[in-house]
């Protein structure tokens, strides 16, 4: 994978675009795209060549130490799933500080502020989000350790760097007096990770005050700017509890056992053949239950995760899974004595993330590809579970972009998570992120 952002031809091309942009405001006819490069795109070129855009990038360069300081400060405020309150309050204050309008926290805990565009209310409103929560539980050591330009701490990349990119972007736009056509709602949302189950973005897009105005959605949540997540990976998660009468392992031998029912269900699930493309997956992630080795358990449970890109395939495996559970319970009730009670099952939905895909041929993603093309980048379209799942499933064009180039972060979701804040590369990465967001904000 090529991680260099501005190779010499691009620098030349940007210089050309910049100069032409300053001289004529219609650089398209003169630009010379590389062979194989996406068609020269007037909007992307206009955005990148705009002197105000250039001065926003320069403003970020000047603001860089503050950006790093904010990254450290926010990372060191623990933000476990369902425990984002303290970080949300800090982020709310930082958003206020940027000068955005209508800075507020909604009933779900999301914090946000509005950037006012020139054609407010005419051009579709774009929401740009990053998530406040991390995967790390309460009590995790989140102190940032520094080694040169490398900063290490749980959550520093995913997604604290996304949050601070938003702050720095707004300040740079304000500083450079950037004008956008449409309004942009900047959001720090709760509930992206794990059992958070996207509840923050779900509220934002289905219940919050802005739900009917958000027409496009970008989440800055990924470790590589070459990758654009345009497919929301759908998932269903259940906690399945099998219950029975229990009894002594010797004295009550022959009585139905929830352990055998659950074991049977697991074995049947494991035999299930699912499509490889588009991919479908299933997993038993947690098993629990029982009280002692010489007792027939009265309760055992398993947590199951099933995923699919295609909504119909997710529905299909869901139906098959439910039948497997019911069949395993019936089989156990038929195999042993139910004199003291039958096996019953409690199927509790503990996670539901909708799936869907935004086509690379859609106007928004064609723009994304064209803007990346200005930086000699070709997007790799990817499937993943992000806050973009919710808007995609609602038919709102949405996608996820990276926080930095691919070599500048790693070990997400681990205790030795790290990001590199080497300034030259960070400024280049910022420029690409800003160009992507601003070009989407200009789309009619
Ligand atoms: Zn994330």
Question: What band does 74 get if pLDDT is binned at 50, 70 and 90?
Answer: very high
Q: What's residue 278's pLDDT? A: 87
Domains in the chain: ranges and CATH: 9-232+355-442 (3.40.630.10), 236-353 (3.30.70.360)
- How many whole angstroms from 426 Cα to the centroid of ligand 1? 19
- How many whole angstroms from 159 Cα to the centroid of ligand 1? 5
Q: What's residue 340's pLDDT? A: 97
- How many whole angstroms from 409 Cα to the centroid of ligand 1? 13
Average confidence (pLDDT) over 346-374: 95
Whether pLDDT at 414 is above 80: yes
- How many whole angstroms from 255 Cα to the centroid of ligand 1? 47
- How many whole angstroms from 385 Cα to the centroid of ligand 1? 9
- How many whole angstroms from 178 Cα to the centroid of ligand 1? 28
Average confidence (pLDDT) over 385-408: 95
- How many whole angstroms from 86 Cα to the centroid of ligand 1? 18
- How many whole angstroms from 17 Cα to the centroid of ligand 1? 34
> How far is Cα 397 from Cα 207, in angstroms, rounded to an integer?
18
Whether pLDDT at 416 is above 50: yes
**Average pLDDT score, the chain:** 91
Whether pLDDT at 81 is above 80: yes
Q: What's residue 39's pLDDT? A: 57
Question: Could you tell me the pTM of the whole model?
Answer: 0.83
Q: What's residue 432's pLDDT? A: 97
Instruction: Write out the residues surrounding ion ligand 1, Cβ under 5 A.
Output: 158-159, 221
Q: What's residue 16's pLDDT? A: 44
Q: What's residue 123's pLDDT? A: 87
Question: What band does 273 get if pLDDT is binned at 50, 70 and 90?
Answer: very high
- How many whole angstroms from 161 Cα to the centroid of ligand 1? 10
Average confidence (pLDDT) over 89-95: 98
- How many whole angstroms from 317 Cα to the centroid of ligand 1? 26
- How many whole angstroms from 307 Cα to the centroid of ligand 1? 18
Whether pLDDT at 41 is above 90: no
- How many whole angstroms from 251 Cα to the centroid of ligand 1? 52
- How many whole angstroms from 136 Cα to the centroid of ligand 1? 12
Average confidence (pLDDT) over 148-161: 97
Whether pLDDT at 271 is above 50: yes
- How many whole angstroms from 164 Cα to the centroid of ligand 1? 13
- How many whole angstroms from 44 Cα to the centroid of ligand 1? 27
Average confidence (pLDDT) over 162-171: 98
Summarised one tens digit per residue, pLDDT across range 176-209 is: 999 999 999 999 999 999 889 999 999 999 999 9
């Amino acid at each position: 994978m090529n991680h260099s952002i501005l190779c010499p031809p691009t620098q030349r091309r940007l210089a050309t675009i910049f100069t032409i942009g300053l001289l004529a405001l219609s650089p398209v006819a003169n630009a010379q795209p590389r062979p194989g490069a996406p068609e020269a795109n007037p909007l992307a070129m206009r955005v990148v060549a705009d002197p105000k855009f250039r001065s926003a990038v320069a403003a970020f360069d000047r603001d860089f130490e503050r950006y790093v300081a904010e990254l450290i400060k926010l990372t060191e405020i623990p933000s476990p799933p369902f425990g984002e309150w303290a970080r949300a309050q800090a982020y709310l204050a930082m958003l206020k500080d940027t000068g955005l309008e209508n800075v507020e926290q909604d009933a779900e805990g999301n914090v946000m502020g509005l950037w006012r565009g020139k054609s407010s209310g005419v051009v579709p409103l774009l929401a740009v989000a990053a998530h406040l929560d991390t995967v790390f539980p309460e009590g995790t050591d989140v102190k940032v350790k520094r080694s040169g330009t490398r900063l290490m701490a749980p959550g520093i990349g995913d997604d604290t760097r996304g949050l601070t990119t938003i702050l720095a972007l707004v300040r740079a736009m304000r500083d450079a007096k950037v004008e956008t056509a449409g309004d942009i709602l900047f959001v720090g949302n709760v509930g992206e990770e794990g059992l958070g189950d996207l509840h923050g973005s779900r509220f934002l897009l289905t219940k919050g005050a802005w739900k009917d105005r958000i027409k496009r959605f970008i989440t800055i949540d990924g470790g590589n700017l070459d990758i654009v997540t345009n497919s929301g990976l759908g998932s269903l998660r259940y906690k399945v509890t099998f219950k029975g009468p229990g009894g002594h392992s010797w004295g009550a031998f022959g009585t139905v056992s929830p352990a055998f029912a659950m074991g049977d269900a697991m074995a049947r699930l494991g035999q299930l053949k699912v499509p490889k493309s588009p991919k479908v997956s299933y997993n038993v992630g947690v098993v629990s239950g029982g009280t002692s080795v010489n007792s027939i358990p009265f309760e055992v449970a398993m947590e199951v995760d099933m995923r699919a890109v295609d909504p119909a395939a997710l529905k299909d495996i869901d139906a098959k899974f439910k039948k497997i559970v019911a069949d395993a319970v019936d089989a156990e009730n038929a195999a042993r004595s139910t004199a003291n009670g039958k096996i019953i099952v409690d199927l509790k939905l503990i996670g539901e993330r909708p799936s869907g895909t935004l086509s690379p041929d859609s106007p928004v993603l064609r723009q994304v590809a064209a803007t990346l093309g200005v930086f000699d980048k070709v997007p790799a379209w990817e499937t993943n579970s992000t806050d973009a799942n919710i808007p995609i499933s609602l038919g709102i064009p949405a996608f996820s972009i990276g926080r930095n180039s691919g070599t500048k972060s790693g070990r997400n979701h681990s205790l030795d998570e790290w990001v590199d804040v080497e300034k030259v590369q960070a400024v280049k990465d910022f420029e690409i992120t800003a160009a992507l967001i601003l070009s989407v904000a200009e789309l009619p």
